[in-house]
Amino acid sequence: MATEYPNDDIKLTARLRDASTCREAFNEVISRYTEPLYRQIRRLVQSHDDTNDILQNTFLKAWTSLDGFRGEARLSTWLYKIALNESLTHIARERKRSGISIDGPEASVINTIEADENVDGDRLALELRKAVAQLPEKQRIIFNMKYYDDMKYEQISEILGTSVGALKSSYHLAVKKIEQYFGNLD
């Protein structure tokens, strides 16, 4: 079954491949994808400054890798994959630097959430962010993509290289853990 792409995605990809329109097209990519990529990265790393750095690295990597983009996946899928890899690299580097266990509780992330002045004061939203921060990394990524970005399992599968069935299972487990978190607040 062939994947269908929006017509403007096909046109934009063609403009990216043409040397005479490449720069202009890439500026359009930046304009179109800055906000959704920022949100995706921010939910993973929490810090505004780190998010901006990772977003900049994402676009830099995309620009330098344009020749390798064959258009077999959606442009958005390719960009999300780069952003995810850059985010995970950053998280791993920070964990190593600070000595936080990969499997340990995410207390530092929760403290960052509570101290972040850009966080909406809505208590429920804050508690949801804390609950999501306590999920294992893979479940957190899948939950963010599905719940916040409303991505289809098929697109998440392309980005993460995981089967749809495994994604559904991980999402279900994440939801159960979040429900438990809220159940323990009472």
- pTM equals 0.72
**Percent of the chain predicted with pLDDT > 90:** 54
pLDDT of residue 184: 83
The crossing angle, in degrees rounded to 10, of helices 123-133 and 164-183 is: 130
pLDDT of residue 6: 57
> Which segments of the chain have a pLDDT < 50?
1-5, 102-115, 119-121
pLDDT of residue 150: 87
Dump pLDDT digits (tens) for 142-176. Answer: 999 999 888 999 999 999 999 999 999 999 999 99
Question: Residues 165-174: contacts with CB within 8 Å, 24+ apart?
Answer: 167/142, 170/138, 170/139, 170/142, 171/139, 171/142, 171/143, 171/146, 173/139, 174/132, 174/135, 174/139, 174/140, 174/142, 174/143
pLDDT of residue 106: 47
pLDDT of residue 108: 47
Dump pLDDT digits (tens) for 61-71. Answer: 999 999 888 77
Domains annotated on the chain, with CATH: 7-99 (1.10.1740.10), 112-186 (1.10.10.10)
Q: What is the mean pLDDT of the chain?
A: 83
pLDDT of residue 31: 95
